[in-house]
Structure 1
């Protein structure tokens, strides 16, 4: 295993991913947490795929900051990339940090995109991860 910070390994483990999963990444920029990315790649035993991949994905890591554009559009564009049980991990800066995204904005975009937030994971020093998934059959509210 590579020399990845302990918080990153702990966060990656909580994402529910496993060896062989296919994980895409969107919103990559110079501020991403490289230890977290490395821990996820170690866990799935594969590199993270970029926006140009045509693979069916078990998960999409969506790095998102205030000012990145329309979060609803980004979520809607990520959904077709997912396997039937695939999830989006929305990764946003923690409260008080540059690029912080208001929870109300996340909630509205998530609902508009037809997704549900199921859990949150502390991503270490600067990031929070929110698990967004399609609602289970019969539980969707319109």
Structure 2
């Protein structure tokens, strides 16, 4: 597992990143790091154009595996080509934590796969999800 303050996103300059699940508890430093990497502001889930990658903030009370699967399908539908999706969940043994196995199951069901896990900031863990075409 890698530890990062946003560098593990792997975003490059000029990318459009669509953000899902924004709420008061998100890590603003991670959001700012993504924006700094791309040089563009994050766009919200109502963005109707094509995005290059996505960040999904997901907590246990946001829904079950099927809900996350649906969200991954929605996020992937907006992506241009083989964009990456980062699913960020509260770290294990904290309020709102989601088992990595749930994210992996949702990704498989959505026709994607989890490729890596990273500690993202002090409170969040990230699971990188990509299409099976990778």
> Could you tell me the TM-score, scaled by structure 2's length?
0.90
Contact 1:11/1:121 (<8 A) preserved: no
Aligned-residue Cα RMSD (Å) equals: 1.4
Tell me the distance in 1 between the aligned counterparts of 2:55 and 2:90.
14
Give the one of 13, 38, 58 matched to 1:44.
Answer: 38
Q: Name the counterpart of 1:75.
A: 72
Alignment of 1:83-98 (within 5 A): 83-98=80-95
Larger radius of gyration: 1
Q: How big is each residue's C-alpha offset from its partner over 1:12-63, in whole Å with a ceiling of 9 and x where there is no partner? A: 2221111101101000000000011011111111110001112211111000
2:9 equivalent among 15, 23, 40: 15
1:1-142 equivalence runs, <5 A? 10-69=4-63, 70-136=67-133
Cα distance in 2 for partners of 1:39, 1:46 equals 11
Structure 1, 95-104 or 24-33: larger mean CA deviation: 95-104
CA shift, 1:104, in A, is 2.1
> What number of residue pairs does the alignment pair up?
129
Unpaired runs of 5+ residues, structure 1, are 1-6, 138-142
The list of structure 1 runs, each at least 4 consecutive aligned residues, that deviate by more than 6 angstroms after superposition, is none
2:69 and 2:109 in contact (8 A); partners too:
yes
* Partner SS for 1:129: strand
Give the deviation of 1:94 after TM superposition: 0.5
Distance change in 2, residues 1:99/1:49 (3 Å)? same
